[in-house]
Amino acid sequence: MVYPIVLYGNPILREILEEIPLNSDVLNIVNKLQKTLDHSAGVGLAANQININSQIFIISINEKDYNFNQVFINPNIILKSKETNIIEEGCLSLPNITEEIERSEAILIEFYDENWNYHKKNYSKLEARIIQHEYDHLKGILFLDHLSSEKQIKLLTPLQNIAQRKIEVNYPII
């Protein structure tokens, strides 16, 4: 089943999500996230984006020359590089809005996977960017929060349209 994506304006997107108790059964959440992501145009999805208050997100990129699929449970970014890059980002919870966002080029993160195996890994470039974006969701942060107040003001009307559901998307929304 494809779950509806929570849109901007829903308070769960601004909550700091709850840690998942060690060795909990998370496969149901992982399956919900994966099925929903498979039917959207996204590359990552956090639990609060399908109205679940749990610290978990997935990344799923399956292209001809590049595959990256990972579940992140109770993640913690330990280090961020001083080197940054600026790349345009979008978000399934903020349809039709993209902005250039500055993020660290590389990170060191610790997390558990869906089998409760512990990982401590370095990621860089695109993977680091997507992880930082999804990790922000777990902390109640949207990519808009990285913009200047001037840019945020310019987005007020599109954001109001999203909050009032005056938009069209090709995936279920709430």
C-beta neighbour count of 81 within 10 angstroms: 15
Query: Among this protein's residues, is 105 annotated catalytic?
Result: no
Residue among 83, 58, 54 at smallest CA distance from 70: 58
Residue among 89, 131, 87 at smallest CA distance from 106: 131
In which region does residue 80 sit, left (phi positive, over 0), alpha (psi from -120 to 50) or beta (all else)? Answer: beta
Catalytic residue among 89, 99, 127, 134: 134
Length reported for the chain: 174
Q: Could you give the residue numbers annotated as active site?
A: 134
